[in-house]
Amino acid sequence: MLRDSQNPNIIIMYADDLGFGDIGCYGSTHIPTPNLDNFATESLRFTEGYATAATCTPSRYSLLTGSYPCRNERARILAGDAPMIIPPGSQTLSSMLKQAGYTTAVVGKWHLGLGDGNLCWNSKITNTPLDIGFDDSFIMAATNDRVPCVYVKDRKVVGLDADDPIEVTYNRDKPFPGLPTGRKNPGLLKMKYSHGHDMSIVNGVSRIGYMKGGTAALWKDEEMAEVFLKQAVSFVTKQKDQPFFLYYAFHQPHVPRIPGPRFAGATEMGPRGDVIVEMDWCVGEILNTLEQLNLKENTIVIFSSDNGPVLDDGYKDRAVDLCGDHCPAGPLRGGKYSMFDGGTRVPFILGWPGTVKPGESEALVSHVDFLASFASLTGMGLSPEAGPDSLNVLPALLGQSRTGRKELLTEGRQFKNVLRDDHYVFIPSNDGPPTQANTGIETGNLCQPQLYDLSVDIGQIRNLASEDPDTVNRMSNRLLEILESDRTR
């Protein structure tokens, strides 16, 4: 039964580092993802759906604020103790939906900072998701490879013993005396690091950053999927009778990849494949919950990913050796961190049974558009300063139009911007290595401009820049214009 076509529940399920080619419905034949594949058959599957960035913090910043990351110089991969980069009280996807009468929750990976610069993990935390429109929050502060390795519920660390306070530092030269680190005590590790990740050891895994204390509150990586899932299911169940928005941000398949025991060995691809299967199971559990509560037709469900794939992102989990002929980015070039499409073009599926006709769409859509599109759906206005780059592409998202946005700014690593239009993609000349030494990913750096026609060259093989200087000029000028203005909306 449809409650109200203006106020359907909205669930965004957001994977971490899942590539365009990693799941069955986008062509993978190596990793079984039956829940996502079934979901895709009942939904609209986008082939030109983008994150705004090839790394996490900037992408998530855009998803919640409707702003390109380059407008906030703090929107770059954050440490686990970084201050929150979204000003409390600003109009965001969550606060806009809350104003529209929704009950809102975030569960899972946050990575947008907490506190205002003086973060104390042992008392009430300020500047949290609760301050930008979430009613409920159950998160990890940053990533599963960064300290502190604890869950934060609303404003408090879960299960913290007051007599064992948490201390955190990201100063590489200041390990806590007497506490083991990956660098000094490799014999204590159950998963070895390949690069970075040589600081505090938690649950047999060395992380980025040092932490001390909080022993009773430390997470166990093997349980993380179930812990977050339980929170997500309980929120949906509790809110079943009124409109809700759930932002469910998975930790999979980000490193360290440590599935629960049921999923260890689920694929022949090692931990990376196994945690994707585990994530697919979580998706299935959410969809089953909606079915059981008779909410399917009342709920828009979106599945996407914050950035493209990486195999060796710093731990020796054999992701490279066991990949075989699986293509995590599908036909796309590059991956996480890259200015090529593999960095930002991601799985993007939207289901709303009974309202959105299942199928495939080539409309150009981006996570940055959720704010304006869902404001339009719910009849909400946006304040002039909100969502400077968020466009209302609701007709495209709901499959009523084949046309989405006409252009899109994306970035590789740290504000290295790229302009995509109808079918061209323009990458300005950039310094830096063409390939990242540790991950082996092609960055997109080249000391000349690059221009690719994605309509005939999805793999970005043929650089047309020297043959087509007019298009290069046009797109280069437009890119500068966007960067110099403070909005595109």
Binding residues for Ca ion (CB under 5 A): 16-17, 56, 306-307
Among residues 149, 255, 295, 472, the one that binds ligand NG6 under rule CB under 6 A? 255
CA distance 50 to 59: 10
Kindly state the smallest distance separating residue 412's Cβ from ligand NG6, in Å.
Answer: 12
Per-residue contact string for residues 181-200; x = within reach of ligand NG6 by CB under 6 A: --------------xxx---
Residue linked to tokens 């200041």: 174
Per-residue contact string for residues 12-31; x = within reach of ligand NG6 by CB under 6 A: ----xx--------------
Kindly state the smallest distance separating residue 159's Cβ from ligand NG6, in Å.
Answer: 24
CB-nearer residue toward ligand NG6: 77 or 107: 77
Kindly state the smallest distance separating residue 314's Cβ from ligand NG6, in Å.
Answer: 4
| Other CB atoms within 10 Å distance of the CB of residue 79 | 18
Confirm if 124 and 155 have CB atoms less than 8 A apart.
Answer: yes
Amino acid letter at 226? E
Among residues 30, 45, 251, 254, the one that binds ligand NG6 under rule CB under 6 A? 254
Kindly state the smallest distance separating residue 283's Cβ from Ca ion, in Å.
Answer: 17
CB-nearer residue toward Ca ion: 16 or 22: 16
Confirm if 371 and 61 have CB atoms less than 8 A apart.
Answer: no
49-50 vs 103-109, strand pairing mode: unpaired
Confirm if 311 and 323 have CB atoms less than 8 A apart.
Answer: yes
Confirm if 186 and 248 have CB atoms less than 8 A apart.
Answer: no
CA dist list (Å): 300 to 12, 98, 303, 404, 441: 8, 16, 10, 18, 34
Kindly state the smallest distance separating residue 310's Cβ from ligand NG6, in Å.
Answer: 8
**Burial call 29-50: b when 16+ CB within 10 Å, e when fewer:** ebbbbebbeebbebbbbbbbbb
CB-nearer residue toward ligand NG6: 58 or 214: 58
Confirm if 275 and 328 have CB atoms less than 8 A apart.
Answer: no
CA distance 289 to 293: 6
Q: Which does 145 bind (CB under 5 to 8 A by kind): Ca ion, ligand NG6, none?
A: ligand NG6
Work out whether 55 is an interface residue with ligand NG6 (CB under 6 A). Answer: yes
CB-nearer residue toward ligand NG6: 314 or 449: 314
The site that binds ligand NG6 (CB under 6 A) totals a number of residues, namely: 17
Work out whether 364 is an interface residue with ligand NG6 (CB under 6 A). Answer: no
CA dist list (Å): 408 to 281, 367, 476: 32, 11, 13
CB-nearer residue toward ligand NG6: 147 or 157: 147
289-318 residues near ligand NG6, rule: CB under 6 A: 307, 313-314
CA angle 281, 62, 473 (to 5 degrees): 120
Kindly state the smallest distance separating residue 482's Cβ from ligand NG6, in Å.
Answer: 23
Among residues 114, 208, 258, 311, the one that binds ligand NG6 under rule CB under 6 A? 208
CB-nearer residue toward ligand NG6: 13 or 233: 13
- The set of residues, in sequence order, having a beta carbon less than 8 Å from that of 327 and lying 6+ positions away, is 21, 28
Residue number with the shortest CB distance to ligand NG6?
Answer: 196
Q: Which does 208 bind (CB under 5 to 8 A by kind): Ca ion, ligand NG6, none?
A: ligand NG6
CA distance 83 to 78: 9
CB-nearer residue toward Ca ion: 70 or 217: 70
Among residues 30, 71, 111, 345, the one that binds ligand NG6 under rule CB under 6 A? 111
Contact footprint for ligand NG6 (CB under 6 A): 16-17, 55-56, 77, 111, 143, 145, 195-197, 208, 254-255, 307, 313-314
